[in-house]
Amino acid sequence: MRDMLGIHPAWGITAVRIAMGAVLAVAGAKKWAFGIGATSGAFAQWGIPAPSLAGPFIGLLETVGGILLVLGLATRWLGLLFALEFVVATFWVKFRLLGWDPGRLDLMLLSGGILLFLNGPGKAAIDRG
């Protein structure tokens, strides 16, 4: 299946997967670089349960999961995990505590996670075999 330009629509999913993976890998690496304790502390202030566990988990998920998304490996499961992460980040943290503007990127990452969970990795992915 190709569109009128001769491009397969799955390439659009690929663009979302790679961009989302890059954004998340950098965000996760920053959590480790600035000290995962700072992330856990912020989680505690925001009311995230078990912040001393959630901080390292999210740091690892974003760093490793972001790299795996770029490669197109375990895409559907990572899409689900990121969708769950960003339901919390978008609605519990950003919109509730900070307002619309700080939550816009989180809403897009939530949408990207849902897209990847429902549709898979697109083209040029290890998952495609």
Residue 129 confidence (pLDDT): 53
Residues 91-120: tens digit of each pLDDT: 999 999 999 999 999 999 999 999 999 999
Task: Tell whether 73 is covered by a domain.
Answer: yes
Residues 26-67: tens digit of each pLDDT: 999 999 999 999 999 999 999 999 999 999 999 999 999 999
Q: Which is more confident, 5 or 107?
A: 107
- Dump the DSSP string for the chain: ---TTS--THHHHHHHHHHHHHHHHHHHHHHHHT-HHHHHHHHHHHT-SSHHHHHHHHHHHHHHHHHHHHHTSSHHHHHHHHHHHHHIIIIIIIIIII-HHHHHHHHHHHHHHHHHHHH---SS-GGG-
Task: Tell whether 26 is covered by a domain.
Answer: yes
The model's confidence at residue 127, banded by pLDDT at 50, 70 and 90, is confident
Q: By residue range, what is the domain housing residue 112?
A: 10-122
Task: Tell whether 18 is covered by a domain.
Answer: yes
Residue 104 confidence (pLDDT): 96
Task: Tell whether 2 is covered by a domain.
Answer: no
Task: Tell whether 65 is covered by a domain.
Answer: yes
What is the total count of domains within the chain? 1
